Structure 1
Amino acid sequence: MTANPDPQGLDQAPRPLDHLAERACLMGAGERPALVLRDESFTHKALKERVATLAGWLAREVPEKGARVASWAAKGELTCVLPLAAARAGLVHVPINPLLKRAQVAHILSDCGAQLLIATPSRLKSLDEGDVPAGCLQLEEAAALEAAYDASLMLGPSQADPNELCAILYTSGSTGRPKGVMLSHANLWLGAVSVAHYLKLADDDVTLAVLPLSFDYGQNQLLSAWYAGGCVVPLDFLFPRDVSKACAKHGVTTLAAVPPLWVQLTELEWQEEASTSLRRLTNSGGALTIELVEGLTGIFPQADLYPMYGLTEAFRSTYLDPELVDAHPTSMGTAIPFAEIMVIDDDGEVAGPGEEGELVHCGPLVAQGYWQDAVRTAERFKPAPASSHYGGTAVWSGDRVKREANGLLYFVGRRDAMIKSAGNRISPQEIEEAAISTDLVVEAVALGIADDRLGHKVHLVVRGTQDQQEQSKLRRALLKELPNFMQPQEIHWREAMPLNPNGKIDRNALYRELSGKNAS
């Protein structure tokens, strides 16, 4: 077991999430920058006022406590302020990844029963009749902000129970459509406290937020920076060079990314003004290779490198102390504050040093389960092992790890078929359903094949006609129905699928075949 259940020097009392808007002002950092957008910037005092104003308008428009409010837009004032404003209004925020397309968004809106959707005009226009739940108010992003500030209905800090539901983050599983992970005020507040502590964030730090705010990793960049009284610069970038330019322009001190982006960033020629201000680099969404660690420490010798591991169901589990990176570059590290990480063998016992087992996360960072999905909740959220310090409900991750005698954890592999590509968790079944729904193929299997740049490449094996025209139609149909990060890099056409003794498609046989070659 590796645990950090009683971290010294941390405020362990969770608060309503919206109190983050007040914290920096109470710390005396009210006039320091909090949010720098493309055309304007806000101090912590101004951020506090905007949270109060947007919350007051939301409470008027959606008076039912606990109602779901969805946002589907690029990074900007609305998407950055809404997590705190919705929490203050007693609503549940559902941030939708801007990269998703109509089918995925329609599922999320229907599944969560959204009563308000705020999105960009083009995204609203992409939805068909019936994609939005009956009675759901749809507003363009700019119009919503204008209405909120015109109304000027300021709402003071909430007195919400920290255990109340605060947000639903949708994440893909190894089977089925995206499922909504239910997060409380306490989950998000303690996550911010934990990360701000172990990253040693301060009120003069500038965080470049390049990750989607619909991801727990991306959203925590806002929350942990504001907890520390620091500043966030949101960035939707087109090219890796945009990241280095933003670092130079804003004096960025904290940069978080996933391995595929780090690969691209290490291929750049970094100018001194872009790199010297960086104090820390953080990685999650996949393991860093030894070569990538060497590349990052070579380009940014003054910056601390934090390899991390996490899962949306428990926010984050482990990090590797930067002082240990050179000697143990492939380790997941140890538990973050407020997390208890256990390695449980197949007999249900705590695994010994060097023995493989399942990573089990216990403690107050564990989410409340999956929204309206008791079956999948029961599969992943189970009673903690008897020897747990925290007890209660734990997340049984499905990841196979081992803990060495020095206490450091190492990733071994996944128990399920999850594809993790470019930092995105992808459900194979979702890709397969999209392929079959085109009526161009009769069977489909999506697999993740190891790739140095992406983590996994998405390969799609289909049974259907060998006609070249039909194959082109499938590509076009998938481009329409699936977001870019779900698009298969390779499509393999078969006249017949391999079957196992039970008559089911033999996924393992296909995986072995494709692991040995990259083309059909």
Structure 2
Amino acid sequence: MPVALDLQPRPLDHLAEAGEDGASALVLRDRTLTYQALRRRIGVLAAWLAEIAPEKGARIASWMAKGELSCLLPLAAARAGLVHVPINPLLKRAQVAHILADSGAVLLIANKARLASLELGDIPASCRKMEEGEAWSDAEVLDRFLPPSSADPGEMAAILYTSGSTGRPKGVVLSHANLWLGAVSVAHYLDLAADDVVLGVLPLAFDYGQNQLLSAWKAGACVVPLDYLTPRDVIKACLRHGVTTLAAVPPLWVQLVEQEWPEEASASMRRLTNSGGALTSDLVAALRSTFPNARIFPMYGLTEAFRSTFLDPALVDVHPTSMGKAIPFAEVLVINDRGDLAEADEEGELVHCGPLVAQGYWRDPERTAERFRPAPPMSVYGGMAVWSGDRVRRASDGLLYFVGRRDAMIKSAGNRISPQELEDVARGTGLVVEAVALGVPDERLGQAIHLVVRPVVGVDDPQGRLPGLLMKELPNFMQPKVIHWRDAMPLNPNGKIDRTALMRDLTA
């Protein structure tokens, strides 16, 4: 039976209490943790964290691949009264240094190679660093156990860093209640059950990826975390573990349906979930052909409110371009430019209200005030709402359709990328005086990153040196697909670089 829609949130670490003692909870490379073992390990890890970071609300950062520690930290930190700050393992030293400084983390746990990549000054003096293995060995030597917490669900539990349309990543503050209710909502509408096996291919620092873990455990299901190198790795994992649930972003789906799937690998699949970009009709058809027994769940969300909508699988073929309707616990309003509730088929801004709305941006009242504002008067929930900046319309049947983004964010391969961050890095090389990053429509990536630059006069070989410097400073998903060199940038009437003209030039 589906997970009950209980609107009463609990401390986040209680999610581990849902499964049967002997049932599989987490499949690791060398062993499988039952729910009984999972609960024990969370308690041991939480006791150690409380010992080394006794100040309530202290931030604990993790920068690591998927494994036991990265999967248990969200619950163990919450149990210890701490705040988990997961860092995407694909990020490089500049982004990591920013997150550590901005969050005020008191501890960074990572592997030896990642720690070695950081330079002097990247880790604040108040932040201790530790290797993954050392953390576990210290916890086991301490040999204490912290029982389930009685934390106020309104307390802060995590800070997830996400790129904004301008500047460096900003931290979205999430409470126990935000994460708990998100897990309950998704487990319910996906109809997850104790006999499900969820393959976790998405980064755990991504709200979509972390929710896979939490919603599966709320249902008493089993999670198989996977850091894959090729689509074949995903297929092998599905075959080996009898995977029933797979979540991905469109570029990965494109790669997966291009592969030959043994019937034994796809036959067990019950559901496919998609976010981070829209599915096309052709891709839906290919997914149905590859996974004939699976229901397809297109979804839309934003880190500031976790997730807003999903499309009922029964409607996917009839309304393939729809975002669907609000998920449980979410209220989604379409507000027109006059501030009124939009009429049917009238374009407006998507405004998300309800208990999934995050607490704002960490230590950034100015940007918080821009995005988190009082809910419109017609809201049932009231309180604070997330004004998404996304333009949508609601059809007469209640289904929502995406129109466009108000900001200039680039969405490539499921990643939200700040143009300004990329531009700042390019200019920081000293090779270019102007830089503009644009997202150009791309069949495989959704948007491909094109970087338009004007070189500094007199520098030696800027075209040959720039790609290497960008590779050093930026993660792979932020690397431009094409760098365009210009002697001059087009300007608009205000004297600013005309991004619209550049986009027309690149797409002509």
Tell me the TM-score range normalised by the shorter chain.
over 0.9
Q: After the TM superposition, which residues 75-94 of structure 1 pair with which residues of structure 2 at under 5 Å, given as runs?
A: 75-94=66-85
Q: Deviations over 1:398-456 (max 9, x none)?
A: 11111100110011110000001011110000000000000000010101111111111
Q: Deviations over 1:74-94 (max 9, x none)?
A: 000000000000000000000
Aligned equivalent of 1:318: 309
1:469 Cα deviation (Å)?
3.0
1:299 Cα deviation (Å)?
1.2
Q: How far, CA to CA, are the matches of 1:491 and 1:465 in structure 2?
A: 15
Aligned equivalent of 1:382: 373
Aligned equivalent of 1:175: 166
Q: After the TM superposition, which residues 21-32 of structure 1 pair with which residues of structure 2 at under 5 Å, given as runs?
A: 21-24=16-19, 29-32=20-23
Q: After the TM superposition, which residues 459-474 of structure 1 pair with which residues of structure 2 at under 5 Å, given as runs?
A: 459-464=450-455, 469-474=461-466
The partner residue of 1:194 within 181, 185, 190 is 185
Letter in 2 for 1:113: G
The partner residue of 1:102 within 89, 93, 96 is 93
1:293 Cα deviation (Å)?
0.8
Letter in 1 for 2:13: D
Q: Deviations over 1:4-34 (max 9, x none)?
A: xxx995111000000112222xxxx111000
Q: How far, CA to CA, are the matches of 1:9 and 1:477 in structure 2?
A: 51
Judge conservation of contact 1:99–1:483 (CA < 8 Å) in 2: yes
Q: Which one is further off, 201-210 or 125-134?
A: 125-134
Give the SS at the match of 1:248.
Answer: helix
Q: How far, CA to CA, are the matches of 1:200 and 1:128 in structure 2?
A: 46
The partner residue of 1:165 within 156, 159, 163 is 156
Give the SS at the match of 1:332.
Answer: strand
Aligned equivalent of 1:485: 477
Aligned equivalent of 2:275: 284
Q: After the TM superposition, which residues 238-317 of structure 1 pair with which residues of structure 2 at under 5 Å, given as runs?
A: 238-317=229-308
Q: After the TM superposition, which residues 196-215 of structure 1 pair with which residues of structure 2 at under 5 Å, given as runs?
A: 196-215=187-206
Count of matched residue positions in the alignment of Structure 1 and Structure 2: 506
Give the SS at the match of 1:200.
Answer: coil
Does the alignment pair 1:230 with 2:225?
Answer: no
The partner residue of 1:344 within 335, 360, 363 is 335
Letter in 1 for 2:122: D
Judge conservation of contact 2:172–2:304 (CA < 8 Å) in 1: yes
Does the alignment pair 1:509 with 2:501?
Answer: yes
Letter in 2 for 1:284: S
Aligned equivalent of 2:11: 16
TM-score (norm 1): 0.96
1:40 Cα deviation (Å)?
1.1
1:515 Cα deviation (Å)?
2.1
Q: How far, CA to CA, are the matches of 1:295 and 1:12 in structure 2?
A: 37
Q: How far, CA to CA, are the matches of 2:28 and 2:465 in structure 1?
A: 41
Q: Deviations over 1:442-486 (max 9, x none)?
A: 010101111111111001000116989321200000000000000
Q: How far, CA to CA, are the matches of 1:225 and 1:97 in structure 2?
A: 21
Q: How far, CA to CA, are the matches of 1:498 and 1:295 in structure 2?
A: 42
The partner residue of 2:403 within 392, 412, 420 is 412
Q: Deviations over 1:52-103 (max 9, x none)?
A: 0000000000000000000000000000000000000000000000000000
Q: 1:203/1:514 Cα in 2 relative to 1: closer, same or farther (>3 Å)?
A: same
Q: Deviations over 1:168-187 (max 9, x none)?
A: 00000110100000000000
Q: How far, CA to CA, are the matches of 1:386 and 1:515 in structure 2?
A: 42
Q: Which one is further off, 273-282 or 296-305?
A: 296-305
Does the alignment pair 1:496 with 2:488?
Answer: yes
Judge conservation of contact 1:435–1:441 (CA < 8 Å) in 2: yes
TM-score (norm 2): 0.98
Judge conservation of contact 2:372–2:385 (CA < 8 Å) in 1: yes
Q: 1:8/1:52 Cα in 2 relative to 1: closer, same or farther (>3 Å)?
A: closer
Judge conservation of contact 1:244–1:274 (CA < 8 Å) in 2: yes
Aligned equivalent of 2:41: 50
Letter in 1 for 2:428: S
Q: How far, CA to CA, are the matches of 2:355 and 2:169 in structure 1?
A: 24
Letter in 2 for 1:303: A
Aligned equivalent of 2:132: 141
1:152 Cα deviation (Å)?
1.1
Unaligned runs of 5+ in 1: 1-6
Q: Deviations over 1:329-387 (max 9, x none)?
A: 11100000000000011111111111111100000000000000111111111111110
Q: How far, CA to CA, are the matches of 2:483 and 2:123 in structure 1?
A: 32
Unaligned runs of 5+ in 2: none
Q: How far, CA to CA, are the matches of 1:349 and 1:498 in structure 2?
A: 38
Q: How far, CA to CA, are the matches of 1:241 and 1:268 in structure 2?
A: 8
Give the SS at the match of 2:213.
Answer: helix
Does the alignment pair 1:353 with 2:360?
Answer: no
Letter in 2 for 1:498: P
Give the SS at the match of 1:376.
Answer: helix
Q: How far, CA to CA, are the matches of 2:432 and 2:453 in structure 1?
A: 6
Aligned equivalent of 2:120: 129
Q: How far, CA to CA, are the matches of 1:252 and 1:472 in structure 2?
A: 45
Q: Which one is further off, 458-467 or 121-130?
A: 458-467
Judge conservation of contact 2:270–2:293 (CA < 8 Å) in 1: yes
Q: How far, CA to CA, are the matches of 2:47 and 2:274 in structure 1?
A: 36
Give the SS at the match of 2:323.
Answer: coil
The partner residue of 1:362 within 353, 368, 392 is 353
Give the SS at the match of 1:191.
Answer: helix
Q: How far, CA to CA, are the matches of 1:9 and 1:461 in structure 2?
A: 51
Judge conservation of contact 2:245–2:271 (CA < 8 Å) in 1: yes
Q: How far, CA to CA, are the matches of 2:161 and 2:450 in structure 1?
A: 23
Q: How far, CA to CA, are the matches of 1:38 and 1:197 in structure 2?
A: 29
Q: How far, CA to CA, are the matches of 1:195 and 1:168 in structure 2?
A: 20
Q: How far, CA to CA, are the matches of 1:416 and 1:358 in structure 2?
A: 12
Judge conservation of contact 2:236–2:265 (CA < 8 Å) in 1: yes
Q: How far, CA to CA, are the matches of 1:322 and 1:194 in structure 2?
A: 16
Q: How far, CA to CA, are the matches of 1:515 and 1:468 in structure 2?
A: 30
Give the SS at the match of 1:399.
Answer: strand
Judge conservation of contact 1:465–1:495 (CA < 8 Å) in 2: no
Letter in 2 for 1:286: G
Letter in 1 for 2:173: M
